[in-house]
Structure 1
Amino acid sequence: MIHFFQDICSLKKQFLCFFLLFAVPIFSQNNVTGSVVDISSKPISQATIQLKDIKNDQIFAFSFSDTSGNFRLVVYKKGLYILKISYLGLKSFTKEIEITNNLLDVGKITLEENKIDLENVIIKNEAAGMTEIGDTLRYRIEKFLNGTEETLKDVIKKLPGLDIDSQGKIKANGKEVDKLLIDGEEFFINQQKIATENITAEMVKNIELIKNYTEFNTIKKNNKSEITALNINIKEQFKNKLTGNVSAGAGDNKYKVHATLFNFSKKTLFSLISDSNNTGELSMNIDDYTKFTNQKEEGTIGETTFSKNDNLPRFLTIGNNVKERSSYFTGLNLKYSPNKKTQVNFYSIFNSVDQIEQQSNTQFYSSNSGVFSNKDSRFSTEETVFTNSSIDIAHKPNEKTLISYKGFFSGINKTNSIEIDNNANQLNNATELTDYTFNHQLNFATLFENNRGFTFSLKQQILKKSNLLNIKSNLPFLALNFENNAYKIIQNSDLNKNNIDVNANYTFNVKKTANSLFMESSSRKDNYKSTEKQFSQFENDVVTENSIQSFGLQTKFKFSAKTTFSSALSYSRIQFKMDNSTDTKWLFTPKISLKTDFSSNHYIKLSFSRNIGLIQAENLIPNSVISDYRTIYSNVNLRLNSVSPNNQVGIDYFYFDNKRKLSIISNLSYYKATNIISNNSSADAAVNLIQYQLAPFENHFNSMLYSEKTLSFVPFSIRASASYSSSSKILFSNNLNQNLKTESTSGYISFISRLRQTSLQFETGVAVSKDVYKDVFFNNHITILNPFIETSFKISNTISFVNKFSYKKISASTSSNEIYQLSPRLRINFPKSKVELSIIAHDILNIKNYEQISLTRFDNFTEERISQSLTGYYLLNIKFKL
């Protein structure tokens, strides 16, 4: 397996060299230049400049005029074109031009006043720095910035209606943005956090929020896409050349080295980002990892897997509750458009993380004699290597036909060693995990007359996962009879999956109804094995096969100009095969929704869906499997033909008014599943036994309300959010059922400055959360109170200062603590120099490791953890701009 990852690393180096050379091609460019002014000869900034095909009105080039009214368009083919220049409130200018040389200067263009009333077409709020045209809201970002912004993330967080949450996801009026575009092209696929933290603020020309964005790799139809995209337009001086920066910072036993390289051109978008540090900072989060490793389209039938926390890399789930952490990251992104009909998207990521943890844990278990606790102290080291590569090739022979291929590879190699002091026993719990997935998919789509269409896709997923568990102990454990006092466990487990899906879809319209007939055929084969050297009771060899045929009808009907009804009714035939026995089931899975659009920015939607969960091979073990030094898993009554139907009802409400500067978003959802995978547990001082078992039900309720209002009488915005969720599920303890209830309440309110003509900007507020876990044995809770303030101040044209301060009080069932965090940063720009100096101080009130409390409720026990957390640090950082 070591050779496997060496080969992967070698292959990545070859890809890197290839694409570095490939990313900067030399093109024969033809430039059209000019300038735009009004009738008083005043330069017009942000005028829209388009170059169109003289025959079919297709846009060949697109740009905006700069602050001096100048513009430049680049095309790669000589000939006749239509030059169109437009600006809100002024008459559009149209002229036929012929490009015969590499440079054509059309001179000064004067736009005259437009007498037509645009009130019903355009919402114009130039004073507020936002202009809305149809489905596009454009921000003049200079209206909101004060010069302290360093990255695209800093810019976005200061724009009304936009925000970036703690996971790095971009939010627009409280809703997650689906796509991130660079100059109108989709780039940084699944990497919003990486993009916003590495594109510098000085590169950004303006930002546009686009509703109903149409992707290149889809065929445009008459219906709205309901995809939201944020488009980042790059300044001209950063295009058609290599640009970026290299920075290095050092402090007391801390370092950080970071490099970025970009090329933004008409045919090629390219980025190379690399980071190495021992400050504990990560380049990705759980949301990024989930998107990287689950890139497969949903089929007709859902899948249910009994998941444990170790399915995710621990460096993502543990947060800052580690004593030390160092990481190395390299990400390569490439988008290449050789012509108007073909696009290639490629990215490759390599991430390596080493960390050390030190914890004191208390687990509370229920038993026949009541509740007892198990305490241990742990010192662990973990090394994780994650790699992910993806390629997406789309070709449109014409506007009605699309051929595409998608493929991605994801691999992870993790080694973990935990030294455990449990009562009088000393143990070492070591694991080595290797997990890789390869998915690829071929798609064909075509559109006929009258909006009739046909799509076909062929998909395959290959998954291989192996895990080596090695436990050494001074005393007996897991209530096992070890021979010759050899208190050791060496367990190997392997999982192999191979899924193949074929899907066909035919769309057609009947009067006001859009219809779609679909068929899908799936073949799935899983194999799970486990062995242990000393004990045969831990041997398993499970082989399962599922054959699924689904067919159904989707409809979309407009009751009125504002109300639309949608439904998807499907039947599935599932054939189960295991141990030479077979079974067949027919399942009905309807989905319906009703949506009323009061306006383009105001709607309410009701939805209902029914899905089916299937049992996985790793849950069907006939014998036991060891999880750790005190936990053993087994199976009671799960069978391959067990299915878990679940129903979900939802209500979504969205309102946004640019004139009133108000946005409101709310949603409610209720989920109920029956015949679910649960567990039966029994515990004593030596072992915790968990058996997979079917339970009668599990339900979840989630609600959220978000609002943002920019005040007109004072220069502030108020942003607030509140959420409440609860769940109830049946668990079994010593074969007796119990109801576990979980309630989570959270909210925040913040005040964001929208000060004009000042160098000061700030945001202050408070966030609160409370989690409660209840069953017949336990009543645990954890409460967090977190007031905060973030300020940015431009001291002079060359010096800026930002500071973050927060107070966090954590109260758990048996303990509590308080944490003060202060993170100032001073940045110095040297005029007419490519050097920038920063003094970074992060969490400087906690220069030594401090303790943080966390509470986790598992299905069979509650764990309260006191962890050593990352220290604060000082860095002197120097950045060199390319």
Structure 2
Amino acid sequence: MKKIMTGMALLLLTTLSVFSQTQKITVKGRVLEDTKEPAIQATVQLLSLPDSVQASGVATSSMGFFSLPPVKPGKYVLKVSYIGFKTLWQPMQLSGSTPQKNVGVLTLETDAIMLAEAVITAEAPQVQVVEDTLVYNSSAYRTPEGAMLEELVKKLPGAEVDDEGNVKINGRDLSKIMVNGKEFFGGDVKTGLKNLPVDMIEKLKTYDKKSDLARITGIDDGEEETVLDLSVKKGMNQGWFGNADVAGGTEDRYMGRLMLNGFMDDTRVSLIASANNVNDQGFSGGGGGPRWRRNNGLNASKVIGLDFATQTSKIELGGSARYNYRDADIMSIGSTEDFLPDGNSYSNSNSKQRNRNNSFNADFRLEWKPDSMTNIIFRPDVSYGKTDNLSNSESGTFSSDPYSLVTDPNNWLTLEKILNPDDDPLRNIRVNAINSGSLSDNKSLSTNATLQLNRKLNNKGRNITFRGRFGYTNNDNNQYTESETHYFQLMNYLGGDSVLIRNQYITTPTKNYNYSAQLTYSEPIARATFLQFSYQFQYKYSESDKTTYDLQGFPDWGLSTQLPAGYEEHAVDSLGKYAEYRYYNHDASVSLRFIREKYQLSAGMSFQPQHSVLSYKRGDYMIDTTRNVFNFAPNLDLRVRFSKVSQLRLTYRGRSSQPSMENLLPIVDNSNPQNIRVGNPGLKPAFTHNMRLFYNTYNAEKQRGVMSHFNFSATQNSISNSRVYNSETGGWTTTPKNINGNWNAFGMLGFNTALKNKKYTINSFSNASYQNNVAYLTDSKTKMENKNTTTNLTLVERLNTSYRNDWFEFGLNGTISYSIEKDKLTPDNNQEPYTFSYGANTTVNMPWSMSVSTNIANQSRRGYTDSSMNRNELIWNAQISQTFLKGAATVSFEMYDILKRQSNISRSLTASGRSVYEYNGVNSYCMLHFIYRLNIFGGKAARDKMQNKRGFGGPGFGPGHRPGGFGGGRRF
């Protein structure tokens, strides 16, 4: 027996020894540059000793992380190499008792010798793909002197800037702008676009940033945001630098801008200030590309703000404060066609607005890691706004198309012409004419705060998190209105046209607050497999008290006068309302998450019981009502990684949404006679399905990238409006109703490549979208309700090609957009409009630090039933700039829309009608800029680094001499 026991012990020891020798170990960590920036695609190798043969290797991710394929226990050397930095060597002993070795953060040192002997060896690739991150090289896109970030973003493949300055990248709305991984002014996109100079940017990374909760816990909460993360050029990461830009021009245009940045180790401070009356557009940009972006109205703005971010090994702090002032002078002329089963309705309008807005915003962020197992995040913010608006409008509704009788119906909307029927060519088709004015002032105060506490319970993924939120808003709105409406199809008691005159003062104070508490838990149930739970309770309170005073009995009152004494006694109960709303929501979710080397999968379901209480009073109508509903929302997120530069992602999310409580009340709101609203107690909740598919791949050797994106969205029981047209008044009675059939699909394919010698580049962006819109249209004669469907198929292709060398760049671009618009009930409204444009741009950098840029492009619109839309716009912009004082100063002369051909037109198409509006704007003008650059870099080493990075033709930041390479070249 003793021999047997001894033999078994030896066998067990041998088995354990063999197991320990075959047990493989994973080595992981993170690589940073000396500026604390992630080292993207640095080479990480594990060399076995003593022969130094590579046992494993990998490239770092977009955030610098790496995880090496498993290796056997033994002695190794970890080698990290990265262009422009010293190679790092780190010996290590790997033991089978530790299946995972985390080497922590590895910081690389700049190779000063390599930088000192830097030469241009290759053109920087336009786009690189690292896992799910797109990396754009700033030096691959030339922008005019003094250009802001917006001008650079417009050049990025797959990026779109719309009429309001909102940005989409590869079909996704851009939510935040970050600098070196930290939020810039709370992530506000427009602040970043207008105030960050291109000169400071080395790379732009775009990726989907998870919420604080998902990032810390791994639990998907559906709050993912597409962000643009800017890497500051290395030489600017220590010390102070800034830009000051002042300009004056024709048409009384002016612009001033100041930005000052300080980088001290792990601390960043930014000060911005600007004032302009050029619609706050990105500057400079004379050679930046055709400017078809609509700039509605004449806008003057002033901004001043301060932003900071700092961190230590345990705590990160950040925040910002800013003041904004905007004065907008907007004029528009418009025409609308409403689809009806028994003959369409037409209306035209002219309006003028003067809006002034003052606002202050402040936000703060704290992330504290008291130990390796605990994470605390606190985010408060506060904002205050004051708005004063003045508007005047004249409009008219017609029973048939007024363009068939006169070339410009908008010239026939004044009271003088309306009241002279003998000389009125539109008299026989007039339904109504409205002349109105309004004055409003609004004050709003809001504050929000989020606190998140996370505690890891072990190193295998078990953790628990608490998140609490609070929000408060107090809004006070006062509105003064006077209007005169003439009805040409209604007779008064004297047999003439009916006239409705309204003079009113309306006060609407509202107060809202909400709070929520959420608890999440993640439990590892197998290797890299987690079961995740979440529960949240949310409470919302809203109170609104609208009071309407009739001032018709005060003939001396007008918009320019004070409220008359005794107006308080003229409140109209039927036009006021009081609503108090309480909302209780419970949200319980469960999900399963798998993390594997080649894929990640998360799938779950959310269950949401809701209880709502509404107290409502309108005139003699009073009601206290409650509602209980139960929602559910499935979700799926699958990521397949084919390689470091190629991945596929599929997401699905279902969301349920409830109709508002007021829409469920059986009441009639006739406070606006032209838009009467009727409630519908039978409304059902709507449920929306949203599916997204994304794929990208990249070939570094050929600098060739492919990006594709597909999105599908469909809504069951969507809440639409059933509208009944009153042919006698030209007004509408609207009732919310459920309808099925609303869905849309969008697909895009982006392709960019450099040709063999890397001096020629080609990029293509193709997309297709299909919208299926449904709505109810009621025949005003038979009162029969019909379901109408409009479809819109739009195909777009954008193609750009360019050539560049050290001193010259030339580009050609072309775009075509073709639409097929169909209306089921009224096929006469079908049309197939299309827009095509083509143009060229060039930049020449002279040896004496002079730069000349120009672009010219033609846009043509065809196929519209409204002939005024079928026009050509030939846009020509130009700029010449001279840099001096060793690159510290630049004088730039810019000319915009030299041929004075740009217009500001917008149009829309829905299932119920179409509209076209044209606005005044800032189009053709010239400006002379003076730009001064302040560069105070900390320490001799940093200054030497910047000097080594300056381009041919002298030091500084002159044309083509930006840090990071001349002519778009990359320095090795």
CA distance 1:617–1:807, shift in 2 (3 Å): farther
* CA displacement 1:819-854 (0-9 Å, x = unmatched): 22111111111143643211111112118xx65443
Equivalent residue number for residue 69 of structure 1: none
Decide whether aligned partners of structure 1 residues 283 and 614 sit closer, same or farther in structure 2, where only a CA change above 3 A counts.
farther
The answer for the alignment partner of 1:118 in structure 2 is: none
For the 8 Å contact 2:390–2:440, the answer to whether it is kept is yes
AA aligned to 1:839 is F
Indicate the larger mover: 453-462 or 618-627.
618-627
Asked if residue 874 in structure 1 is aligned to residue 926 in structure 2, the reply is yes
Residue 854 (structure 2) pairs with residue 809 (structure 1): no
2:687 corresponds, among 634, 642, 645, to 645
Change (3 A) 1:685 1:344: farther
Match of 1:526 in 2: 542
CA contact (8 A) 2:131 2:647 kept: no
Pairing 1:835–2:889 present: yes
2:907 to 835, 855, 865: 855
Structure 2 CA distance for aligned equivalents of residues 645 and 107 of structure 1: 55
Q: Which residue of 1 aligns with 2:454?
A: 445
Question: Which residue among 365, 375, 380 is the counterpart of 1:402?
Answer: 375
RMSD: 4.3
Which residue of the other structure, out of 515, 526, 539, is the alignment partner of 2:576? Answer: 539
* Alpha-carbon distance, 1:164 to partner: 6.6
- Change in 2 beyond 3 A, CA 1:617/1:802: farther
Q: How does 1:321-720 map to 2 (within 5 A)?
A: 322-337=296-311, 339-366=312-339, 370-412=343-385, 413-420=387-394, 422=396, 423=413, 424=418, 427-432=435-440, 434=442, 435-449=444-458, 450-475=460-485, 487-512=502-527, 513-534=529-550, 535-557=572-594, 561-578=597-614, 579-617=623-661, 619=663, 623-625=667-669, 631-638=674-681, 642-683=684-725, 684=727, 686-713=729-756, 715-720=760-765
For 1:533, what is the secondary structure of its paired residue? strand
Kindly tell me: are residues 523 and 188 of structure 1, through their superposed partners in 2, closer, same or farther at Cα, counting changes over 3 Å? closer
CA distance in 1, matches of 2:678, 2:31: 62
Partner of 1:207: 203
What is the number of residues matched between the two proteins?
Answer: 748
Unmatched 5+ stretches in structure 1: 1-55, 66-82, 97-105, 112-124, 285-317
Residues 666 and 703 in structure 1, CA contact (< 8 A), matched pair in contact too = no
Distance in 2 separating the partners of 1:325 and 1:226: 30
Aligned partners of 2:138 and 2:204 also within 8 Å: no
The separation in 2 between residues aligned to 1:607 and 1:489, in whole angstroms, is: 51
Residues in 1 aligned to 2:542 and 2:112: alpha-carbon distance in whole angstroms: 67
Does residue 841 of structure 2 align to residue 790 of structure 1?
A: yes
Q: 1:171 to 1:759 in 2, by over 3 A?
A: farther
Aligned-partner residue type, residue 599 of structure 1: S
What is the aligned partner in structure 2 of residue 127 from structure 1? 122
Instruction: Provide the C-alpha distance between the structure 1 equivalents of 2:767 and 2:300, rounded to a whole number of angstroms.
Output: 35
Contact 2:890 2:932 in 1 (8 A): yes
Deviations 1:614-671 (A, max 9, x none): 223564566555686x6324233147x8422222233333223323433222233332
Q: CA deviation at 1:457?
A: 0.9
The amino acid across from 1:264 in the alignment is F
With structure 2 as the length reference, what TM-score do the two structures score? 0.68
Counterpart of 1:281 in structure 2 is: 280
Whether the 8 Å contact between 1:408 and 1:440 is mirrored in structure 2 is yes
Determine the C-alpha separation between the residues in 2 that align with 1:132 and 1:651.
20
Aligned match of 1:17 = none
Alignment match, 1:52:
none
- Structure 2 distance, partners of 1:491, 1:369, is 37
Distance 1:790 1:183 in 2: 32
Structure 2 letter corresponding to 1:515: L
Counterpart contact for 1:766–1:786, Cα < 8 Å: yes
Q: Is the 8 A contact 1:635 1:691 kept in 2?
A: yes
Aligned partner of residue 149 in structure 2, secondary structure: helix
Q: 1:138 to 1:367 in 2, by over 3 A?
A: closer
Match of 1:312 in 2: none
Bigger RCO of structures 1 and 2 (CA < 8 A, at least 6 apart): 2
Q: Distance in 1 between matches of 2:374 and 2:492?
A: 67
Partner amino acid for 1:670? F
Change (3 A) 1:495 1:207: same
Q: How many angstroms does 1:699 deviate by?
A: 2.3
Question: What amino acid maps onto 2:309 in structure 1?
Answer: K
Is residue 723 of structure 1 aligned with residue 696 of structure 2?
A: no
Greater Cα radius of gyration, structure 1 or 2: 2
Structure 2 residue matching 1:776: 3-state secondary structure: coil
Cα gap change, 1:633 to 1:491, in 2 (>3 Å): farther
The one-letter code matched in structure 1 to 2:275 is S
Whether the aligned pair in 2 keeps the contact of 1:359 and 1:379 (CA below 8 Å) is yes
- The 1-side partners of 2:717 and 2:138 are apart by 56
Query: Could you tell me how far 1:208 is from its partner in structure 2?
Result: 6.5
The answer to whether the 8 A contact 1:146-1:794 is kept is no
Alignment of 1:18-417 (within 5 A): 62=35, 86-88=81-83, 92-93=87-88, 127-129=122-124, 144=140, 148=144, 150-151=146-147, 153=149, 165-166=161-162, 180-204=177-201, 206-207=202-203, 209=205, 230-236=229-235, 239-241=238-240, 243-282=242-281, 320=294, 322-337=296-311, 339-366=312-339, 370-412=343-385, 413-417=387-391
Corresponding residue of 1:16: none
Task: Name the % identity.
Answer: 15
Hey, what's the Cα distance between the residues in 2 that align with 1:718 and 1:858?
33
Distance 1:248 1:376, change over 3 A: closer
1:680 alignment partner, SS class? strand
Conservation of the 8 A alpha-carbon contact between 1:768 and 1:786:
no
Change (3 A) 1:280 1:211: closer
8 A Cα contact 2:653 2:690, kept in partner:
yes
Matches of 2:818 and 2:384 in 1, distance apart?
Answer: 35
**Aligned-pair distance for 1:511?**
0.8
- Report the alpha carbon displacement of residue 726 of structure 1 after superposing the two structures with TM: 1.0
Deviation at residue 340 of structure 1 after TM alignment: 2.5
CA deviations 1:710-729 (Å, max 9, x no partner) are 14336222222222121222
Residue 298 of structure 2 aligns with an amino acid whose one-letter code is: E
- Kindly state the Cα deviation for residue 428 of structure 1 after the two structures are TM-superposed: 2.6
CA displacement at 1:245 relative to structure 2: 1.8
- Alpha-carbon distance change, 693 to 134 in structure 1, aligned in 2, over 3 angstroms: closer
**One-letter amino acid of the counterpart of residue 276, structure 2:** N
1:127-158 Cα deviation digits (max 9, x unpaired): 35369897699989696466855446389569
Residue aligned with 1:762, SS? strand
2:135/2:206 contact within 8 Å kept? no
State the distance in 2 between where 1:564 and 1:60 align.
Answer: 29
Which string of whole-angstrom CA distances, capped at 9 and with x for unpartnered residues, describes residues 96-116 of structure 1? Answer: 9xxxxxxxxx999889xxxxx
Distance 1:548 1:738, change over 3 A: same
The Cα offsets for residues 326-364 of structure 1, whole Å up to 9 and x where unpaired, read as 222333322233x32222221233333223333332222
- Alpha-carbon distance, 1:788 to partner: 3.3
Aligned 8 A contact 2:193 2:282 in 1: no
**Alpha-carbon distance, 1:504 to partner:** 0.5
Q: How far apart, CA to CA, are the structure 2 residues paired with 1:693 and 1:511?
A: 50
Structure 2: unaligned runs, 5 residues or longer: 1-28, 39-77, 92-108, 115-119, 284-291, 397-412, 419-432, 551-571, 615-622, 935-972
How many angstroms apart in 1 are the aligned matches of 2:134 and 2:772? 41
Say which SS state the counterpart of residue 507 (structure 1) adopts.
strand
Per-residue CA deviation, residues 370-419 of structure 1 (Å, 9 max, x unaligned), is 22322233333333334432222221112331112112234442413123
Residues in 2 aligned to 1:217 and 1:523: alpha-carbon distance in whole angstroms: 20
